[in-house]
Amino acid sequence: MNATLLLPELDTNSFCHDERTSGFVDIYDVPHFIKTLKYDVQIVTSIPKITPQGKTKKLRAYKIEPPRDAPVTWYRTTALEKIRKYGAIYLTPFSHRLAEEIDDPELQRLRCRVNYHALRFKPNIMKTSSDIANKLRSEGHFMSIHLRFELDMIAYAGCIDIFTPKEQEILLKYREEHFREKIIVPTERRLIGKCPLTPEEVGLILRAMGFDNTTRIYLASGKLFGGKRFINPFKAMFPRLENHSMVGSGKLEENTRGLAGSAVDYMVCLLSDIFIPTYDGPSNFSNNLMGHRLYYGFRTTITPNRKALVPIFIDREKGHASGFEERVRQVIFNTHFGTPHKRIHPESFYTNSWPECFC
């Protein structure tokens, strides 16, 4: 396209609800981003002004919505045509707007260069994350868990049948306001592995794998929907739970508010000895983190196969607990644990960039 890139904007309001940050420039190291990609694309921090007929004015970008998983040809034709016509275009939304499977290996390598080298958090976030990880590791190995059990995730997944009528009402209203209309049957969602694991289910998996109540766990999570009745069973099994607010104090706590807190969570999870995502669907946090850990030395990642685990959990809920832990282990030990393996659809490129981004 031979186009210049304006610094991206982050949508900090749809789900993060963080009015204290404007996004990209507040959490990412912009000079490093520009320097790392200088041989790939020219990047500017603001739209340049133009001077037609002696009058200086700011160029206005034409807003365009790219198709989901658009092929490279769409950008080289439709998008390029709009750039030539208007001078600048504003692509929004931009989540999953370029096909993951691309025949051009250099473009795939560029993705990794951006994700794992150019996109670096600001120095204060990096230091805070490192301080927290070092503090946790000073007492031995620690595990991180991305516990995706917040309002937006549960509403998106449509898994409402374990909640009270009032909570179901809240979930349905949120879903109606934030997501495209789609007919779903809540009771079927869990059976096909579309529901995030509950905190108790995560605890049962860990216990079946042999982890005991001395295991130190860093919890990356927002406000859990449903409150204490969901987290308490997990705490009873694994009392040594930490998050960035509990580990940090003073200066550390100042750097873990709002969107910066999510950035710190990401880095602590990256640095942890073991990482477990409880939902790896369209969650960019978990997908990118799994890919990042793979890229930087095949770090241990345990990805529970939710669909395979559901029948085991249902049997237990019906009182058939015999052989429960052995059945769970058979499912879990059939995963890759962050080791190199060829990507097979529907696995995401962001979760596993092998072999394109490895020498």
pLDDT single digits (tens) 286-327: 999 999 999 998 899 999 999 999 999 999 999 998 999 999
Looking at residue 220, what DSSP letter applies?
Answer: E
Decide if pLDDT at 283 tops 70. Answer: no
Instruction: Decide: helix, strand or coil at residue 170.
Output: helix
Domain boundaries, the chain: 5-118, 123-332
DSSP, residue by residue, 71-138: -HHHIIIIIHHHHHHHS-EEE---TT-S-S--S-HHHHHHHHHIIIII--B-HHHHHHHHHHHHHHHT
Check residue 256 and give its pLDDT.
Answer: 60
Decide if pLDDT at 255 tops 70. Answer: no
- Average pLDDT of the residues in 271-287: 86
pLDDT single digits (tens) 86-144: 999 999 988 889 999 999 999 999 999 999 999 999 999 999 999 999 999 999 999 99
Instruction: Decide: helix, strand or coil at residue 41.
Output: coil
Architecture of domain 123-332: 3-Layer(aba) Sandwich (3.40)
Per-residue pLDDT band at 32 (split at 50, 70, 90): very high
Decide if pLDDT at 203 tops 70. Answer: yes
Per-residue pLDDT band at 250 (split at 50, 70, 90): low
Decide if pLDDT at 359 tops 80. Answer: no
- What the block records as the tokens of 41 is 């694309």
